[in-house]
Structures are given as C-alpha cells and as structure tokens.
Structure 1
C-alpha cells in the first residue's frame, strides 16, 4: 500500500464537511413513517447501555424524560423516552418533549465522530437545543464522557476536542 493511502493517513485526514441535503430529501423524508428512526436509535442506545458505554449514574437522571431528535435536511424525526432503565421508542412526537435536538445531518455526523463539540455547533447555530437546560447539560456531559476504545481514532477522525 502506498504511503498516500495508508490507513493512518486516511483516518487523520478524515473530515465531515458542513453540508445541507437538497430540500426534496426533507420533503420526501417527512412523508415517510418516522417510528423506524426511534426504534433503531433506542436499540443502539440500549446496546450502548448494556455495554456500559453510557454512565449509569447519569442514566438515572433521564428517568421518565422524553426526547426528540430531528434531522432537518432528511425530514427524519426520532422520539423516545427513558423509562425503567431502558430507552423506549415513542410512536408519536410528544407535544413538548423534555429535550429536543435539531440539526442537519452533517452536524449530527460531526458530533458522532467528535469533529465538533455540541457547544460550537450550538453557538454557530448549526444545532438547536430546546427544553430543560439542566437535562441538556446532563446529556451533553454524558456524550462527552463516552469513551470509544475500539473505534477511537476512526470515530474521532484523528482529532479530540
């Protein structure tokens, strides 16, 4: 393998650009059933809980709370609650979720790979956070505390914040 294509260089140079999908994608996405997003997300969150990726003491603070995550440029919405030690999908959006996150796909991807932190995206108006401020801080601190040991360099894109 040539040096220009070595895995370490690919990971180090990996960066997700800010982008917005065409409006057509959102118009179509809003017309599709939304519950599969919530089912998939809660399955992933429950798996992370079982693997002890999410801090148990913080999870207790989520008990009975409802959440909404909206990917603006895809038209996708995932609503869920944390009850009885499990993340559970909600099949309709609550009138007033305890905490709502809204952003374009690129911002959520940048968060996932830790290319950007939530504060930067929020202050750059790329991420909207609405609802209970204290709950928002709890969730932010939970995300910051996650260690990605097996996927470390790839998930972080070779960067840390």
Structure 2
C-alpha cells in the first residue's frame, strides 16, 4: 500500500526541511470534516460567481455535488448549487465531478493567469467524473473571466 501522505506536494517557497511537518499537517487536515470549509467557499462563490452564472450552467450544477481537493494542503470541499445559491453538499453525496489541484493552480485559475485547459494538460489540474459537467464549468469560467483579478499595485507614497 502506498503512503497516503505522498501526494502532499510541498507548497512553493516552503523549505524542504519542513516537509515532514507539512505532510503530518496535511494528513490531519484531510481527516477533518468538509462542512466548515465547504460552507465558507459556498458563501464566497455566492458573492463572486452566483450572479454571473448563466442559466445553462445553473441548470447543469443544480443539486450536483462537486468536490474540490487542494493537494498541497490536504483540503477538501464539497459543494452543490441549491435554489438560493451554493451550499455544502450532503456528507454522503457522491461527487459528480472531482477537481484536484495544488493551491497555486487554483489561484492561477481564479486570477485568470492560466486557463483550465493549460492546467489540465500540464497535469496541474485533474478532473474526474462527469466530463460534460466539467466542460460546462470550464466554458463558464472561460466566458466569465477571472473571479479574483489582480489589483494594480499602488504607487509608493513619499
């Protein structure tokens, strides 16, 4: 049997000497309930995405569990779209789509630095499950643009 913590890639900038501690923390985070972080992400998506979702994407997502895994932190969230917005998916719901990537890849996607196709072909983002739902999500995110655009840096004051 393989080591379950082997998938926890060290985040960029973290010294290799911290790798054992990082693996232990990720293994602990992976065992925590998914509801609290799922609730937080659901509220954030309601704020930045819900009003921008076209009707076809809403229909495709309605009541379907989507699981996001952040491999370098051991974090997992499970969401679905309900009548009033995003909500944590029921604990026993089988994910229709699972998206797995390190945190830096999600950040690049949210900022619009990279598109999902590039991340997919670089193997920095892996999708499993309902490919049609995955394509709807990908095309919707492409059409909407960055969800978390970079802000221009302010000029230093003197």
C-alpha distance in structure 1 between counterparts of 2:131 and 2:59, whole Å: 17
Give the 3 Å change call, closer, same or farther, for CA 93–123 of structure 1 in structure 2: farther
* 1:88-109 deviation line (CA, Å, top 9, x unaligned): 1025253x31111001111111
**In the alignment, which residue of structure 2 is the partner of 1:38?**
38
| CA distance 1:111–1:148, change in 2 (3 Å) | closer
Q: What's the counterpart of residue 133 of structure 1?
A: 131
Indicate how the Cα distance of structure 1 residues 58 and 43 shifts in structure 2: closer, same or farther if over 3 A, else same. same
Change (3 A) 1:108 1:49: closer
Coordinate RMSD, CA, aligned: 2.4
What is the aligned counterpart of 1:123 among 121, 124, 129?
A: 121
Tell me which residue corresponds to 1:87: 86
TM score, norm. by length of structure 1: 0.71
Runs of 5+ in structure 1 lacking a partner?
1-18, 156-161
Give aligned pairs, total.
Answer: 134
User: Does structure 2 conserve the Cα–Cα contact (< 8 Å) formed by 1:79 and 1:90?
Assistant: yes
| CA positional deviation for 1:153 | 4.9
Q: TM-score, normalised by structure 2?
A: 0.73
| Deviation sequence 1:67-118 (CA, Å, 0-9, x none) | 1001011111111112325221025253x31111001111111111111111
Q: Structure 2 stretches of 5 or more lacking a match?
A: 1-8, 12-21, 153-158
The alignment partner of 1:64 has SS state of coil
The superposition leaves residues 13-65 of structure 1 with CA deviations (integer Å, 9 ceiling, x where unpaired) of xxxxxx73342341232233321110011112222355x22223321222221
Match of 2:155 in 1: none
Partner of 2:57: 58
> In structure 1, how many angstroms separate the alpha carbons of the residues matched to 2:42 and 2:54?
16
